[in-house]
Amino acid sequence: MLVRVRDLSVSFRLGREQTAAAVRGVSFDIPRDRAVALVGESGSGKSVSALSIVRLLPGNAIVAPQSSIEYDGRNLLREPVERLRALRGRDFSMVFQEPMSSLNPVFTIGDQIAEVLQRHLRLTRRQALARAAELLDEVGIPEPRARLGAYPHELSGGQQQRVMIAIAIACQPKLLIADEPTTALDVTVQRQILDLLTRLRQSYAMSLLFISHDLALVGEIADEVVVMREGEVRESGPVDRIFTVPQDAYTKALLACRPRLDARPRRLPVIEDFMRGGPTASAPREARPAGGPPLIEAAGLRKAYRLKTGLFARKTIDAVRDVSFRLARGCTLGVVGESGSGKTTLAMLLMRLVDAGGGSVRFGGKDLLALSEREMMAFRRRIQLIFQNPYASLNPRFTVGRILTEPMKIHGIGKDEDERFERAIALLGRVGMPAESIYKYPHEFSGGQRQRIAIARCLTLQPDILICDEAVSALDVSVQATVLNLLLDLQEEFHLTYIFISHDLAVVKYMADEILVMNQGEVVEAGDAEAIYAAPAHPYTKNLLSAIPRGYAARAQAR
């Protein structure tokens, strides 16, 4: 056993007397030369547990006295700081979630790799730089020698993460802790980083502690899995057992609540179903007929941004190029693509939140792009948008009541304030929120609850079309399932038309009847969702689909 964590309890001081428990009596082992995954949703204590090993917890953390983390015959929680400092970077190393913020922007990447080598292995600068070039080659960065002098901003997100990994493996550590290393990356890049981590773990014979919220990802990389929830270990064991015969209800729920590529139930199972032991399966969703007159029709939409590259030099970047689609009432159009593909710009164009460079959007017999701001008001009511980040899209200074009544006031819905409040309360009930929420401020709610409030705000205007721009991407998987279920219920009840934008191919597959696959502002493939997922025609689509983590099942099949 490399590291033995026993009865770890960590709490955080919040005020003078308040404390909040983050981890409660967690025990797990990290064997030598194995990959252990800590899985859990936000607030499950997985990162805190991992950071405790290297004692990188913030200053207000309190580790309970009975906790122990045994490494090399010593309890790391009792070791002096100097000794830990010698271990960090040499025996233990870390890769964080955001490569953009974990590299220092003012030093070259060569400097940053050499620093660890000079510090821990006492190499000279020349030796360290030579070794750094080898490491860059090993993590798959082309032209490593030339890249030594590059600054972090000159690299893409995936390359930055590779550099972070190079720094982490520089001293051939015994344990590599990777805290959500691929969450900020696109799905195709995620695939490459996962492959790299697996290959390096094997060739260096090191242990890997992989922290993730994504069970599918974990199923591909881990040997042992520890499932955590609310600071406690729910279940732990070898990966095949966790995935094939999960014992704990929560593990079962986590495995089931992600939309799958091969099935499309009417309703996604949620955590409560499993905890209560209720029915979890539901009938498959009936496919919607693709025909019918189009409700909204976009043709040749384009938007270019002009960037200043010099005193007079300008560069134009096409954010959206020649995008066309038609969508019938009651259907869902899925828009998939990686970051920078122009998905969000498309949503902004449809809402006229940015000015289009060309094209037309026909809706209700009018071209929306040709309307004046005044004429547009009537149409604003009919197209609404749910934003990605529920933490940012609600005004923090407004109470929920004000957030919900404001749109009604603007559009003259409801005859007085009392009636508007009544409607707001009714809508809150419809999206599954208690009536008391109306007094509260957005910060008093969790991410999923905030997204429900955002949905309720859109519904106050009784729209025809709802654009969901990454509406569930920032949410935990179990919350994702409940919000997706809500969206489907609302679609049936109010006969809504959705434009569902996401980078998450599984979610789009679940929601959409038709899809647009976008790459660098262009639509590379469009058509019926089932057909495209079954037989992608464009190489980009194929690449995208093959990069989706398929969990343990795919790995078992490959064996």
Partner 1 sequence: MSAVLEPNAGAPAVARSPGVWDAAWLRLKDDPVGMGALAVVLAFLTLILASVLGFAAADWEREKGVPYAYPFFAGDRENVEAQAMQGIAIGKDRRPIDISDVDPLAPKYREWAERAAKLSLIDPPRLATLPAGGDRWGRDVLAKAIKGTQISVLVGVFAALVATLIGTLLGAFSGYFGRRLGDLLEWVYNVFTAVPTILLIFAFAAVFGRGIGTVILILGLTGWTGTYRLVRAEYIKHASREYVRAAHAIGASHASRIFVHILPNVSHVVLVQLSLLVVAFIKAEVILSFLGLGVPIEMVSWGTMLGEAQNELITGKWWQLAAATAFMAMFVTAFSLLTDALRDALDPRLR
In the complex, the residues that contact partner 1 under the rule CB under 8 A are 329, 348, 351, 353, 377, 380-381, 384-385, 387-389, 392-397, 399, 401-402, 406-407, 410-411, 414, 419, 421-423, 425-427, 429-430, 435-436, 438-439, 441, 443, 454, 457, 459, 461-464, 494-496
- CB-wise, 284 or 292, nearer to partner 1? 292
- The nearest distance, CB 435 to partner 1, in angstroms, is 5
| 257-262 long-range contacts, CB within 8 A, separation 24+ | 257/477, 257/478, 257/480, 257/481, 258/215, 258/216, 258/477, 258/480, 258/481, 258/506, 259/481, 259/484, 259/506, 259/507, 259/509, 259/510, 260/506, 260/510, 261/505, 261/506, 261/509, 261/533, 261/548, 261/550
- Strand boundaries in 422-550, DSSP class E: 465-469, 497-502, 514-519, 522-528
- CB-wise, 103 or 385, nearer to partner 1? 385
Task: Provide the total of helices (H) and of strands (E) in the chain, helices listed first.
Answer: 22, 21
- CB-wise, 70 or 489, nearer to partner 1? 489
- CB-wise, 457 or 509, nearer to partner 1? 457
- The nearest distance, CB 352 to partner 1, in angstroms, is 9
- The nearest distance, CB 379 to partner 1, in angstroms, is 9
Neighbours of 379 (CB within 10 A): 19
Q: Which two structure tokens, joined as six digits, stand for 14?
A: 């919040």
**Exposed/middle/buried for residue 326 (C-beta within 10 Å: 0-12, 13-18, 19+):** middle
The closest alpha carbon to 48, from 34, 33, 63, belongs to 63
- The nearest distance, CB 434 to partner 1, in angstroms, is 10
- The nearest distance, CB 350 to partner 1, in angstroms, is 11
- The nearest distance, CB 207 to partner 1, in angstroms, is 40
| Cα–Cα distance for residue pair 119/128, rounded to 1 Å | 10
Q: Which two structure tokens, joined as six digits, stand for 399?
A: 């109470």
- CB-wise, 236 or 393, nearer to partner 1? 393
- The nearest distance, CB 117 to partner 1, in angstroms, is 40
| Cα–Cα distance for residue pair 183/212, rounded to 1 Å | 8
DSSP code for 286: P
418 - beta bridge partners? none
- CB-wise, 362 or 440, nearer to partner 1? 440
| Cα–Cα distance for residue pair 79/60, rounded to 1 Å | 19
- CB-wise, 276 or 415, nearer to partner 1? 415
- Are 511 and 498 in contact by the 8 Å Cβ rule? The answer is yes
- CB-wise, 127 or 462, nearer to partner 1? 462
- The nearest distance, CB 137 to partner 1, in angstroms, is 40
Q: Which amino acid, residue 392?
A: A
Q: Which two structure tokens, joined as six digits, stand for 96?
A: 């964080």
- CB-wise, 101 or 395, nearer to partner 1? 395
- The nearest distance, CB 307 to partner 1, in angstroms, is 16
